[in-house]
Structure 1
Amino acid sequence: MAAGGLSVLFCGINPGLMTAATGHHFARPGNRFWPVLHLSGFTPRQLRPDEQEELLSYGLGITNVVARATARADELSRDEYLEGGRLLTERVERLVPRWLAVVGVTAYRTAFGEPKAVIGPQERMIGSTRVWALPNPSGLNAHWTAATMAEEYARLREAAGLPGS
Structure 2
Amino acid sequence: MTRFSPAELEAARDRLVPDVVADGLRVLFCGINPGLTTAVTGHHFARPGNRFWPVLHRSGFTPRQLAPGEQGLLPSLGLGITNVVARATAHADELTAEEYREGGRVLTAKVERLRPRWLAVVGITAYRTAFGERSAAVGPQERRIGDTRIWVLPNPSGLNAHWTLRTMADAYEELRLAAEESGSAAPRR
Coarse TM-score class (shorter-chain normalised): over 0.9
| Alignment partner, residue 95 of structure 1 | 114
Distance in structure 2 (CA, Å) of the matches to 1:47 and 1:5: 22
| Alignment partner, residue 46 of structure 1 | 65
Cα distance per residue 1:73-125 (max 9 Å; x no partner): 01100000000000000000000000000000110000000010000000000
Residue type of the alignment partner of 2:71: Q
- Report the 3-state secondary structure (helix = DSSP H, G, I; strand = E; otherwise coil) of the residue aligned with 1:111: helix
1:65 aligns with 2:84: yes
1:74 aligns with 2:93: yes
Aligned residues: 160
Which of structures 1 and 2 has the bigger CA Rg?
A: 2
| Alignment partner, residue 173 of structure 2 | 154
Distance in structure 1 (CA, Å) of the matches to 2:172 and 2:126: 17
Question: Where do 5+ consecutive residues of structure 2 fail to align?
Answer: 1-21, 182-189
Task: Provide runs of 4+ in structure 1 moved above 4 Å.
Answer: none
Distance in structure 2 (CA, Å) of the matches to 1:48 and 1:29: 11
Question: What is the identity percentage for the equivalent residue pairs of Structure 1 and Structure 2?
Answer: 76
> TM-score, structure 1 length as denominator?
0.95
| Alignment partner, residue 129 of structure 1 | 148
Distance in structure 1 (CA, Å) of the matches to 2:73 and 2:23: 17
Distance in structure 2 (CA, Å) of the matches to 1:14 and 1:132: 17
Cα distance per residue 1:129-156 (max 9 Å; x no partner): 0000000000110010010000000000
1:86 aligns with 2:114: no
Distance in structure 2 (CA, Å) of the matches to 1:64 and 1:157: 20
- Report the 3-state secondary structure (helix = DSSP H, G, I; strand = E; otherwise coil) of the residue aligned with 1:160: helix
| Alignment partner, residue 134 of structure 2 | 115
- 1:18 is displaced (CA, Å) by 0.3
- 1:4 is displaced (CA, Å) by 2.9
Distance in structure 1 (CA, Å) of the matches to 2:76 and 2:164: 27
| Alignment partner, residue 29 of structure 2 | 10
- Report the 3-state secondary structure (helix = DSSP H, G, I; strand = E; otherwise coil) of the residue aligned with 2:134: coil
RMSD across aligned C-alpha pairs, in angstroms? Answer: 1.1
Distance in structure 2 (CA, Å) of the matches to 1:119 and 1:5: 24
- Report the 3-state secondary structure (helix = DSSP H, G, I; strand = E; otherwise coil) of the residue aligned with 2:172: helix
